[in-house]
């Protein structure tokens, strides 16, 4: 993906430099034709589109890295499991008690000898460990696991990818005041719902749209497709 990223960088630099040269030439000439505004708007739209595609590419790379890390940790855990089971089995064999016979008479089993100091140390260690676990439970904040982070990334990415590039610019312009960040925040909120009905209810309650217009109907169709 590094080649694709470099391609986005080069195209962004080309558009930015082209706009810069156009501005410098107009500033030096002193004339400002009306065509400049439409040309500049098209270039800024292209720059915005390239930045958005570059953002999606970055999210995809991060998702792949996280998936590789999860797979690696899973393989390490599987490799260590047989060793742990072997150690546990050996400890169980060594811990078994065997009866002791007297060389001069009948067989009998000696009572198990336990060092009083060892018992005290063991109990103290157990109390310390229990107290430490309770303290960690009380003060340790919740930290989302790696799987939670991956699921979050994947969920947001899937819902946004259900919208084509042309529709994305259309919805952004007509429904979200041409504000990409406002549209992204709305997509994140919609993605938190379990089904389309909940998402539609939220939109009807919080958005002052005319839900009879074609653009709103198309937006609802795209969102419903994302929940399918």
| Number of domains into which the chain is organized | 2
| pLDDT tens string 198-220 | 999 999 999 999 999 999 999 99
Q: How confident is the model at residue 107 (pLDDT cuts 50, 70, 90)?
A: low
- Asked if residue 98 belongs to a domain, the reply is no
| pLDDT tens string 30-50 | 778 888 888 888 889 889 888
Q: Which residue has the higher pLDDT, 178 or 26?
A: 178
CA distances from 194 to 106, 110, 151, 152, 191 (A): 74, 65, 14, 14, 8
- Asked if residue 164 belongs to a domain, the reply is yes
What DSSP line would sit under 106-139, residue for residue? -EE-PPPP--HHHHHHHHHHHHHHHHHHHHHHHH
| pLDDT tens string 177-201 | 999 999 999 999 999 999 999 999 9
- For the chain, where are the alpha helices, taking DSSP H only? 2-29, 35-94, 116-139, 146-161, 165-175, 180-191, 196-206, 214-227
Q: Considering Cα of 160, then 162, then 166, then 171, what sign does the dihedral take?
A: negative
- Asked if residue 58 belongs to a domain, the reply is yes
- Quote the domain boundaries for residue 67: 2-26+35-71
**What is the average per-residue pLDDT within 133-142?**
52
Residue 207 confidence (pLDDT)? 93
Residue 99 has pLDDT above 70, yes or no: no
- Asked if residue 87 belongs to a domain, the reply is no
């Amino acid at each position: 993906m590094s080649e694709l990223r470099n391609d986005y960088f080069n195209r962004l630099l080309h558009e930015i430099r082209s706009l810069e040269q156009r501005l410098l030439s107009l500033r030096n000439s002193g004339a400002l034709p009306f065509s400049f505004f439409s040309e500049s708007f098209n270039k800024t739209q292209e720059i915005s589109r390239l930045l958005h595609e570059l953002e999606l590419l970055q999210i995809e790379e991060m998702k792949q890295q996280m998936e590789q890390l999860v797979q690696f940790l899973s393989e390490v855990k599987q490799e260590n499991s047989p060793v742990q089971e072997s150690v546990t089995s050996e400890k169980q064999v060594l811990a078994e008690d065997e009866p002791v016979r007297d060389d001069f008479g009948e067989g009998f089993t000696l009572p198990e000898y336990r060092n009083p100091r060892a018992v005290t140390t063991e109990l103290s260690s157990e109390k310390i460990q229990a107290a430490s676990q309770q303290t960690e439970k009380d003060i340790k904040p919740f930290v989302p696991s790696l799987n939670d982070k991956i699921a979050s990334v994947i969920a947001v990415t899937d819902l946004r990818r259900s919208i084509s590039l042309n529709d994305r610019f259309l919805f952004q312009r007509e429904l979200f005041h041409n504000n990409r960040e406002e549209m992204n925040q709305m997509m994140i909120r919609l993605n938190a719902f379990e089904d389309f009905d909940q998402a539609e209810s939220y939109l009807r309650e919080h958005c002052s749209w005319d839900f009879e217009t074609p653009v709103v109907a198309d937006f609802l169709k795209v969102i419903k497709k994302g929940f399918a």
